[in-house]
Amino acid sequence: MRAPEPLYRLIIIVARALFLINGYRFTMKGEAHVPRRGGAVMAINHTGYMDFVFAGLGARKSKRWVRFMAKKSIWQHKVAGPIMRGLKHIPVDRHAGAGALVEATQRLRQGQIVGVYPEATMSRSFEIKELKSGSARMAQDAGVPILPTIVWGAQRIWTKDVPKRLGRTGTPIHITIGDPIHIGPDDDVAEVTTHLREVMKRMLDETIAAYPEPTGEALRFHPARLGGTAPTYEEAHTKDFSDMRRKKDQFSRKK
């Protein structure tokens, strides 16, 4: 019998009320792929700060709660910190992430669903970046499937380099959960990670194709290769590299 989750349930109720007030319009596909029992790694694309909020809704049809891996600094916030602890999410120290992987794998073995951003950082181009191997390694170690998951539309609300647009926006949000990817004990983690990326790229294109055609300012949140004005994959990579160098220098000065 599953333990009750009063805080998580309350957060979902409040979130859905806010979504209704803000006029968000949801389209869900593949919710049945979320197992009703047992662990799974939910591998989510990362285009906006609210991706995890929307991805978690995709598991509710199966009556599951998702434990998300997120940067440790959120736990230090006076409001968000207690909520993250209460929801049993998993803090990740980006300078020493092994501990988070161990904890997440234990959660998976306990039959929980763990939400992961395999791209590690947000995609400024809104394309699928190169993936880290952690999702596949955790799934293999715990003996659970990977659920490739695409959230599209969250970038229109709050993303990098663009002022956030909270409030009543009426933004369409599409959530697609793909067929589970199973990884055996002898499978090559690198090959599975490559396969996961190809699956997520295909799912992204399919989700975008079903999304309302962007016009005007909305083109800023659409991939350049599809006629949008978002940074190209190469431009986004250059900005990411610059950010990484700056943060590395800041971390070195603090030591």
Predicted local distance difference test score (pLDDT) of residue 2:
65
Which tens digit of pLDDT belongs to each residue from 16-60? Answer: 999 999 999 999 999 999 999 999 999 999 999 999 999 999 999
Pairing mode of beta strands 113-116, 146-152:
unpaired
Asked if 182 contacts 38 with a C-beta cutoff of 8 angstroms, the reply is: no
Q: What is the mean pLDDT of residues 244-251?
A: 70
Quick one: what percent of the chain has pLDDT higher than 70?
95
Asked if 57 contacts 20 with a C-beta cutoff of 8 angstroms, the reply is: no
Please report which confidence band the pLDDT of residue 86 belongs to, taking 50, 70 and 90 as the band edges.
very high
Among 182, 200, 201, residue whose Cα is nearest residue 192? 182
User: Which residues, including other chains, have CB under 8 Å from residue 98's CB and lie 6 or more apart?
Assistant: none
Predicted local distance difference test score (pLDDT) of residue 175:
98
pLDDT of 250 above 70: no
Which tens digit of pLDDT belongs to each residue from 142-192? Answer: 999 999 999 999 999 999 999 998 877 899 999 999 999 999 999 999 999
Which tens digit of pLDDT belongs to each residue from 185-214? Answer: 999 999 999 999 999 999 999 999 999 999
Strand partners for 116: 43
Strand partners for 69: 90
Domains of the chain: 22-239 (3.40.1130)
Average pLDDT, the chain: 93
